[in-house]
Each structure stands twice: as structure tokens, then as C-alpha cells.
Chains A and B, each alone.
Chain A
């Protein structure tokens, strides 16, 4: 088991009444799974991502990540756990505009205080793996959307995360680029990385090993 969510509730107060964002949500994810998360807008996909990423709190329920009980950790411990285990990939790529491809990929390692020589080796490996060595000194605005997303994925992978959270990773891409990225995800999954992707596209969802449908803040796999 990689993570397990038990009876998770999250709500906001609106006009004195609770509006549930997550409503008795139960989910267990095993190591090596490739989950496709689907659901209409407002079904709670983003909230669930934030909860899994430990970037957001929940109001009731238990959250276990490997053998840690997340609901008992303070925010500093949660940040540490997140930084060491989870890589985030965004629909809008969210690369750092002022940094080159190389520097974007290198930055997470800087924050982990990895030594310079090791850093170089790791970034070089990553550039190689994604076939973007030639683009390493370009800035994000000089790349196509697909290339930018590759850099985004490389940046997420550089810390060797156990889990990748991808929030509509191909939402801004055309279908060819989209298929390439999905194939890449599938390959990564084969290498053993657990992936959860949120998507609106049935074809993208088909790349996953399991489909989870979300409705009104809880899992609805009927």
C-alpha cells in the first residue's frame, strides 16, 4: 500500500451551512498503480489532489502515506514528506520563466542541498532520458507546449518521487503531444513509479491501470 484515505471529509462554511468538498471519501492506492481520476468540474478532483499532496488539510478522517499517519503530522513534517515523495505536474506546466530548462530541472535538487557534481549528473541523465539535451539552455517561452510539459515532468521526476500527481497534464496540448506524454507516463509507470492523473479525456484515462470516478466529493465507481 502506498496511501490510504479513510472516511475523509472536507467542507467549507457558506451561509452557516457546510458545503462538502470531500464527502466520506475512501481510497486505497497500491505501489505501482497508474490511476486515472475522472469526474465533472466541482467533483473534488483538485481538492483530493491537494489533500493527497498534503498541501491542504481535511476536516475529518484518516490519511496514511506508507506508514506515516498524515493527520497527526504538523505542517513542517508534512512539507518534508511531500517534498521527498511527491512530484507535481500541472496543466499549465508552471515552469520558472526566468530559468533555463537546465536550471528548472536542477532547482529541486538545490533545495534538497544535493552536491554540485551529483546534481550535474542527475540533471544530465534526465535531459538525456527525455531527449532535451539540445534545449537545455533555452528558456520556457522558447519551447512548445509539449516540450514545456516534458521539462515539467523531468523536474517532477528529478527528486525520484514515489508518487506523481498530474493535474490534467495534457489539457493544454494537442492530441499528438498528448499521446506522447501519456506514453511517457505509461513507461514511467512500468519503471515502478505510482501515478495519479486527473483527466477529462477518456482516451487519456485508458492509459491508466485503474479508473476512479469522483462525484460530489466521493468515489463513485458505478
Chain B
């Protein structure tokens, strides 16, 4: 019997090729997009989960009090790990990681490579379960000249993973000996470095004469990402408490922290989707994509339901005959279920193929190295789940409807509920409501990203080239500046300590004349020279700019926010102290964004330093390539071995929003697909309606109806539905997109025209889809349609 069901199902599939193709493409596209979203979400949620016991590893975030405001940083000080390991029994293992910024180029003989490395405690490999491919696992980083490579790095540098004992040079100077080769670290993790250095190198930078005697007692520099492996996840609270007590008793500046708990232990799996303080950040996006997944699946299912029930009219005769020759409801229900199952299986198989085919494109859009492995049990399970759920959702109603026809009426073509199709109308409305939501989402995201890249950050970043000096450049900064200024095409040169696109530096080591002796403020210090403010056309509100004279070393220029937070009135000439250097406030600059627009503008302190590491060049842009070549020639004079690395501020700026841009692109693609699938369904239904009404259209035409009137007759019903769906969609979309926008401190308003535009676009697309069939039916010769009836 079951064989027979499959036989019938197959013949039905082959018979009505046109509609089955429409239905199948809708379902296939929907399913393949869902698989992509599942893979994407899975990858977002599986961050750092390559470690088997990742639930037991935590990143230590530090709570800092800045001007009465609690800030949580993802980094912590050196002593946290050493105390945790020695004094807290619940801590099984503690590891510090600091990215190695000191070197950029690593060379083996004549070949140069750029690699990312990190200083780590030796227990790192144990905690992150790295198999040692080559070398003695007990002595991986035994000295300050040891280096551990990942397998891929070893292959890249030496052509073999048996690299122990070989040497390489860092920045053409320091020699390191490979003492171990370990398994690679996955990209989807917080520790995807290519090589590892001993933390003893950093420890060696301390001496008894320093303010902080050693790295393990330095409570002032938040330079490390500290990972703690606990005995038991239930110990989080007690470990947090104990760490706080340790910090409060040992840190000489603990007084000023004034926080209840100095630390927050964040599960490492949360590091990418939550802020260091545990506030969901990227999680919003994951949730929105979860919604998109459900929307796309629903649209695909609705298509299937609509097309199958629309087809019910054609199948009513078959159902009746079968009933009369002995089929009961169960037989017929099973038959339709088998048909759906076959259909869905086919769609799933094609969808899986499509996923493989489109994987490169999808990787490009998402910017992720997504693993597409259908044999992976979790993914397989999820796809199976999607298959079963969509199958059940979309096959039960048509199967029930089809199997419950009254045979003698149906055989004569009097089928209740088929031609009216109220249920189908509801479904079409839902489907288009989803489409409108997606279109609104697309517009809002695109507008917001546009806003971010075009918003004035408080300075002029156009035609500004900047680069980090390297080699001997910085020692000869003054002569370098003279050479650069005189290049053709260069309008101005300035040196500063940081990138002001995304400045990461902070310090709490400031003092000012305040009524409150314990006042604390974490500020963003940026060293600049006298050319910086005019070069970037920043707006000096009060006082004056640095003059490039020696007294400037005790002058400070603060931004509005800093002045406001410190509560200084009439700031010019008032005392200010940074890193124990007493001075006065020389000027006040208008607030500018030195971080992403996702963050508020913080307090900034500009101090004078004529020979900082980062060079900013304003160029005229008339002949950019020759200007660049001239700058590169100068660069090569100072360090012939380094490639000239530079960036334009505008490009850097766009880079900062790349992840958001990708989210936008993904969203855009998914919306287009969702709308396309909806229209496929609408197209199919209109075709059926036109068929059903063939006779009515014929009669009307004979009675003198015009083509326009007939088209209107066929289209108006559906277009009203689309309009209704827009009305339903707008509040929902408003809610969801408002949620997304909350991620940004600077955001666009939700204007009414966005909704109007989305509704309009949907309506136009729907009109085109519907009228295509409607016009075709309307211009058909009525004599023919009447004769066939």
C-alpha cells in the first residue's frame, strides 16, 4: 500500500509540472536560506565552544568606577590570574593572554610573514586543550626566546609541522626558537592566534625600581585577558567574591574603585555576543536572524499550503472516486501526507545541494568562515527538525481538507470552501505581512548604516592618510615630518598617539581642582602635536591650540564631555594633571567621536607630544597614487624591510562598521528572497483563480466587460489583502527595528515614510505579480473559455 502511495505521489509530481515547480522552488529556496541562517546562528552561538569544557572557563572582566559611572572592561590586571591560582582553591587553572603588538614581521631566512601572536601563560595549551603535534608538552614555553606555533603556521613557515628546534626572526632582529607545534585554534574563538610567546618576556620588563615591582603585583595595567577554569560552574559567585577581596586587600588604589564587585566572570562562550559586562550586544542580531528564519520558513510553508489547497479543486474528482471505490478518510489523508513527504524530501535534497553551491557567496556576504558539514550531528538534527516541523505544519491542513470532501458533490465540481478560500486569504495576508516586515527591516538597517558612515564625527576625515611608524621612524620624527610636509600633494602632517577612529586607550590617572578629593574619572588620553586640531578641522571652543613650544608639555586640551564630567567652570588656565604631570587647561575642543557610534562620546584629554607613533597626512587628492608612492619612498628610507602599511581614515571608518554592514547585506538578501518566494506563491494562486474563474470571465467579456475591468476583478481581492498585511506588519516591524536600533547611541528616527515606502514596494511587486496572470486571463478569447466548460 505504501508503495502505491509513493507511486501516486510521484505521478502527481510529474503531472502538474508548472505548479509543482513553483511550489518546489519556493520551498527549496526557503529551506536552503533557513539552512544558511541555522549555520550562521550556530556559528554565532558556538563561539569558543571548541573547548570541550568551555562551560567551565570564564573570562575575567573588570568593573571600574569612572566619574561615578560603572564601566566593565574585558581586560584585567596581571595579579588576578596569579592570585586566583594560588589563593582560590575553586580555580583549577588561570591563564593570561596578551596580544603581541611588539612585532609585526616574522622571517625565516629571506621570507617575511605577517602573523598574529600572543603572550600566554604556559598552562594556556592545557586549558584550551591543544594537542602537541611536535615538542615536549611540559616545556612548551620554557624561556623568553621560545616560541610555539600552530600546525598551520609551522607549515606556512617551514613547510612541515615538525618544526621544533628551528629558528625565526621577529622584526628582523630578535631570534626565537620553536619549542613546540600545537593543534590550530579555530577562527570562531577569542584565542585564534598563530603563534605564542612566553609571558616571562613581559615579566622581564619589571624591576624592583619600578612603581609596580612585578607583573604579578601590577594592579594598574589592565593589559590581559584572564581566563579562569573553575572546578565547578557553581563556584562563580564565590570566586568573584574572593577575587574582589583579594583585589581590595592588595591593590594600593583599591579605595578609589568603589565598586561592590571588582570582577565579573563571563562564560567564554558569551564573549562575542555579550559585552564584557554581560549585556547582550550581538545577541540582538542573532535574535533578529532567528525571527528571519521563522519568517522565511513560514512563507515557504504558506506557499505550499496555498498552492496545495488551490489545487484541491482539481483533485476533488479524484478524491470522490477514491471514496466511492472504497477509500476511507485515513487512506486519503495518508496519501496526501505521503505526497507532501515526497515533495518536502525532494525540496530538502535540492536545498542541501543549493547550500553547497551557494556556500562561497554566503561566506562572502557573512564574512565568516562558515563550516558547512551536513554530517555534523547537530546541524543534521536541526535540518531534520526543520523538515519535520515544516512538513507537519504545511501538510496537515491540505490533507485534512482534501480527504474530507463529500464524494457525490465533489464529483460534480461542487466543492465547498475551495473557490472561496478564506483560509488561503488569511495565509496570503500573513505571508505579505512578513514580507513588509522584512522590507522595513532592510530599509531601516540600510538607512542606519548610511547614517553612521556619513554622520559628522566632529572632525574632517576626508583625504586623511595615516600609518603607524615603525623601525627608526619615530626616533627621527621631526626630520620625518619635514620631509613629509614638503612632498607634493601633502597639505599637512601631524603626529598623534592613537587612531582617533577607534581609540582604545584609557587611564584613571588624572587630577583636577575638585571639591571632592576622591573624584575619579577614566579619560581617553590622546597625544597630539600642534598641527592635529587644524589638520582634522576640529572645533576649538575656548582657549587656544598647542603652539609647538616646550611649555606645551604642561598644557592640556580637554573635550566638552571631560569638562562637564569634572564639573570645571571657566576651565581655561585651571589646573589639570595627567600621569602625575601637573599642568593647566589650555583649551576646550568640541566633542568628537573617537570610538564607534555605538558608544557615547567619553571624556578626552589631548596632551602635547611632538613625536608620537601615528602619522596623519592630509593630502590634496589630486594625484593620490603619486603622493602615496612618494610617502612610501620615504618610509623605505627608514625601514627598507617593512612593507608600507597605511590606511585612509574614511576606509578605516567603514571597516569599523563592517560587521553591521554584513548584517545589513545578509538581511537585504534574505528579504529579497522572502519577497520572491511570497510572489511565487501569489503568482501560483492567481493562476488558479484565473482558471477557476475562466467561465465567469468569458461570460463577463461576452456581456461587454473591458480588459481593465476583468483584470481588476481578478486582482483587487489580492491587492486588498496585501494592503491589509501592510497595516498588520507596520507596528510589528516598528517594534523589532526599534529594538535593533537600541544598539546604537546615534541612530536614525523611525520616520513614517519608511513604512509607506515598504508598503508601496510590496504593493507594486504584488500588482506586477497578480496582473501578469490577470491580464492574460482577461485578454483570452471568451469563446474558447466558454466552449471548454
> Taking beta carbons and an 8 Å cutoff, which residues of A are in contact with B?
50, 55-56, 79, 83, 88, 90, 94-99, 107-108, 110-113, 155-156, 159
Contacts and interface: CB of A to CB of B under 8 A. Distances in A.
A158 to B, nearest CB: 9
B700 interface: no
A108 B408 contact: no
Nearest to A106: B4
Interface string B316-338: 01101110111110010000000
Contacts of A107: 322, 325-327
Contacts, number: 46
B326 A112 contact: yes
B8 A98 contact: yes
B138 interface: no
B318 A96 contact: yes
Given A96-B321, A98-B8, A56 B326 contact: no
Nearest to B15: A98
Contacts of A98: 8, 11-12, 15, 318
Residue from B317, B318, B321, B327 whose CB has the most chain A CB atoms within 10 Å:
B321
B52 interface: no
A94 B331 contact: no
A36 B15 CA distance: 40
B407 interface: yes
B246 interface: no
Given A55-B407, A98-B8, A111 B326 contact: yes
Contacts of B408: 50, 55-56
A124 B417 CA distance: 41
Contacts of A79: 328
A110 B3 CA distance: 11
Given A56-B408, A110-B1, A94 B321 contact: yes
B411 interface: yes
Dominant SS at the A interface?
A: loop
15 contacts: A55-B407, A83-B328, A88-B325, A94-B320, A94-B321, A94-B324, A95-B321, A97-B318, A98-B8, A98-B12, A99-B8, A108-B326, A110-B4, A111-B331, A156-B325
Can you list the 9 inter-chain pairs with the closest CB atoms, starting with the nearest? A111-B326, A83-B326, A108-B325, A108-B326, A98-B11, A94-B321, A111-B327, A88-B324, A55-B408
Contacts of B321: 94-96
A112 B326 CA distance: 7
Contacts of A113: 1
B326 A96 contact: no
A95 B11 CA distance: 15
A79 B325 CA distance: 11
A55 B15 CA distance: 30
A113 B328 CA distance: 12
Given A50-B408, A55-B407, A113-B1, A94 B328 contact: no
Given A98-B8, A98-B11, A111 B328 contact: yes
Contacts of A155: 325
Nearest to A79: B328
Interface string B1-33: 100100010011001000000000000000000
B720 to A, nearest CB: 33
A33 B765 CA distance: 65
Given A96-B318, A111-B325, 10 more contacts: A83-B326, A94-B324, A96-B321, A97-B318, A98-B15, A99-B8, A107-B326, A107-B327, A110-B4, A155-B325
B668 to A, nearest CB: 43
